[in-house]
Amino acid sequence: MAGLTVVAVNCTLKRSPEPSSTELLARQVLDELAGWNAHGELIRVVDYDVRPGVRADEGHGDEWPLLRKKIAAADILLVATPTWLGNMSSVAQRVLERLDAELSDTDDAGRPAMVGKVAIAAVVGNEDGAHKIIADLFQGLNDIGFTIPAQGGTYWNGAAMAGVDYRDLDDTPAAVARVNAAVARNAAHLARLLRDNRYQPYDDEARESAHRTSDRRRGWFADVGLPGF
């Protein structure tokens, strides 16, 4: 099984080394991905000086280009965020805003830079909001070009106003563990499919060239008498 590369961005508001429930859930998903030969690193975004903006590099000490380079080299992006006031963290929102620049970064076939990469999500909090957050994350990530796998989001919400954090639990809830496993399994499966079968070119000239190549290949199969041609 060919190896895959994963980058997980922890969008907690807490700087290292402060404990983070978001980091715990993200690491659990990374552990599951490792079982499918998908390995990578976990980045705590607030440890970097990521400037506001929608360009690939906002200059003046902006450290987003360091993170962007890692994301660009990965097959799978995991966005992990806490729940604040029922929404994703401001850090997660900033990650989406900075990724928006990738729409204008295209390859020779006109495909945006993130097309062909897989995105998954992990949300944690002691208040409701996970479903909305995952929906918002997936809409934004898909708009940028990422592909979302089946059941690609995992989450944990504690009881309302109970004040118990995910990292305070003695054990991982069985339901969360099952979903973590499904997220990893489906993400790795989809990433391998996309790596071996790229999306069609967006550019008309490149698309026509790809079609001509495909037609020639079909003609060769027919000439040698393979079934179905």
Q: Where are the domains of the chain?
A: 4-198, 203-229
- The type of residue at 188 is A
Tokens encoding 59? 């200059």
* pTM score: 0.89
- Please report the pLDDT score of residue 211 as a whole number: 56
Q: What's residue 205's pLDDT?
A: 65
Q: How far is Cα 23 from Cα 47, in angstroms, rounded to an integer?
A: 13
The segments of the chain whose pLDDT lies below 50 read 214, 217-218, 220-221, 224, 229
| CATH no., domain 4-198 | 3.40.50.360
Taken in order 194, 77, 92, 62, the sign of the CA dihedral is negative
**Tens digit of pLDDT for each residue in 139-192?**
999 999 999 999 999 999 998 878 899 999 999 999 999 999 999 999 999 999
Helix 21-34 and helix 174-196, axial crossing angle in degrees, nearest 10? 50
pLDDT (0 to 100) of residue 126? 84
